[in-house]
């Protein structure tokens, strides 16, 4: 009897195992809903390293819709930023968006590399570092998910707002901080663009929030990889032979 009990797991150990399994499954569910690592860690009262281990890139497929990839706070921000119903995309665009479905890790990887090479900072300024700036919240969320996929830790990312000095700077800072899921105090000093009254600006009004600048610290190696990834994508695309089932057929174009 004693020998059998010695080899059997204790009740506490079994309970800890069950709790850990439950936390792991819950973490994966939250990740699929678009929660960020810090949000999951806070919700489950575990470390971010545990979350990363449980729901790393190999553990989940990420949805593509901007609100789907957003965490709870980010979804609220995107909802508040949505245009009135009459200004939203027509049914055809909504149907096209639904055709995308869920993204695999490889698809997100390729999209992120192409997105950065199209919109990110290049070597023209002779600095090999990853800097991404844009005014579109959905593009920023996709870029952040891409950094998650690459394993870039949160502490290696810095955030800064760039906006015209005549805009509501405080509101813009609050908007971008909420979207990213950080405290406003973590933002670097905002870059203010001087107002030129002779310029007929279109980016005005209550919906104007400037741009967010995301910089990855110590990212020279990552920058060189991105350059190589894009070269590989471009080479593969030029060699690609389009099959008989073209995308235009699936969307009913004439």
The string of pLDDT tens digits covering residues 190-199 is: 998 876 655 5
- Taking the whole predicted model, whether its pTM rises above 0.75 is answered as no
Q: How confident is the model at residue 14 (pLDDT cuts 50, 70, 90)?
A: very low
Average pLDDT rounded to a whole number, residues 65-89 = 52
Give CA–CA dist 148/209, Å, rounded.
25
CATH architecture assigned to 1-56: Orthogonal Bundle (1.10)
Per DSSP, the three-state class of 21 is helix
Average pLDDT rounded to a whole number, residues 39-56 = 76
Give exposure, 211-235, as e/b (b: 16+ Cβ within 10 Å). bbbbbbeebeebbeebbebbeeeee
84 has a pLDDT exceeding 50: no
Extents of the domains making up the chain: 1-56, 61-81+94-241
Residue 99 tokens, joined: 């055709």
Beta strands per DSSP E along the chain: 62-63, 102-103, 130-134, 157-164, 191-193, 211-216
205 has a pLDDT exceeding 70: no
Q: Are 31 and 61 in contact (CB under 8 A)?
A: no
pLDDT at residue 120 in the model? 87
Q: Are 210 and 162 in contact (CB under 8 A)?
A: yes
Residue 129's nearest CA partner among 226, 210, 212, 211 is: 226
Give CA–CA dist 107/68, Å, rounded.
16
Length of the chain: 254
Residue 140's nearest CA partner among 170, 155, 166, 162 is: 162
């Amino acid at each position: 009897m004693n020998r059998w009990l010695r080899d059997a797991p204790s009740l506490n150990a079994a309970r800890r195992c069950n709790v850990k399994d439950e936390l792991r499954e819950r973490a994966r569910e939250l990740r699929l809903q678009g929660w960020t690592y810090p949000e999951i860690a806070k919700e489950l009262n575990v470390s971010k390293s545990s979350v990363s281990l449980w729901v790393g890139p190999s553990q989940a497929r990420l949805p593509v819709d901007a609100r789907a990839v957003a965490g709870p706070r980010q979804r609220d921000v995107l909802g508040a930023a949505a245009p009135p119903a009459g200004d939203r995309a027509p049914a055809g665009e909504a149907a096209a968006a639904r055709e995308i479905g869920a993204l695999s890790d490889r698809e997100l990887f390729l999209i992120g590399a192409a997105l950065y090479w199209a919109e990110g900072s290049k070597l023209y300024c002779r600095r090999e570092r990853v800097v991404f700036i844009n005014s579109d919240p959905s593009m920023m969320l996709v870029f952040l998910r891409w950094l998650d996929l690459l394993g870039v830790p949160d502490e290696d990312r810095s955030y800064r707002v760039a906006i015209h000095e005549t805009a509501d700077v405080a509101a813009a800072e609050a908007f971008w901080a909420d979207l990213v899921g950080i405290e406003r105090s973590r933002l670097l000093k905002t870059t203010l663009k001087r107002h030129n009254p002779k310029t007929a600006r279109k980016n005005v009004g209550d919906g104007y929030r400037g741009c967010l600048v995301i910089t990855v610290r110590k990212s020279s190696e990552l920058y060189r990889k991105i350059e190589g990834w894009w070269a590989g994508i471009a080479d593969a695309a030029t060699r690609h032979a389009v099959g008989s089932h073209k995308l235009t057929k699936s969307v009913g174009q004439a």
